[in-house]
Amino acid sequence: MDNEFPSIKTSNGKASDAAASRHELRRCRRLPAARRSPVWPVILATLIILGMLLAFHQLVKGVVRQSDLRHKAVALHAEATWRCNKLRGRDASGSCLLRINAEARRDAVVQARNIP
């Protein structure tokens, strides 16, 4: 079996069979023109970047929501503490503060259990 590969001349004028076979292999493995187009990598990169931006947006949105809830809880606790301190009588304000702090601890435990 005599395979005939096109010979490629090197700089010294000799034909290189190895270079010819590599050239033939590259020619056989070429992709269709539509897939060789530089548009596909750009589209793929754009989709990856958009996906990453969407994930980042969701993360930031969740952090902002959690921060807002924490800020509201601190404000409500501060207001309840202020009201307890304004009650007349040491026993009334002390029991009110104990009740508020007990509820705050209970809520913190419930929230800690709900965090995945």
**58-93: pLDDT as tens digits:** 999 999 999 998 899 888 888 888 888 887 777 777
Give the dihedral of Cα atoms 104, 109, 113, 114; nearest 10 deg. Answer: 0
Summarize pLDDT for 16-61 with one digit per residue, the tens.
566 666 666 666 556 565 556 688 889 999 999 999 999 999 999 9
Distance, in Å, from the CA atom of 69 to the CA atom of 46, rounded to the nearest integer, reads 35
Q: Confidence band (pLDDT; 50, 70, 90) for 101? A: confident
Residue 27 near residue 14, CB atoms below 8 Å:
no
Q: Distance (Å, rounded) from C-alpha 53 to C-alpha 47?
A: 10
Q: Where are the beta strands (DSSP E) in the chain?
A: 8-9, 15-16
Strand ranges in 2-113 using DSSP code E only, listed in sequence order: 8-9, 15-16
Q: Is the pLDDT of residue 5 over 60?
A: no
pTM score, whole prediction: 0.50
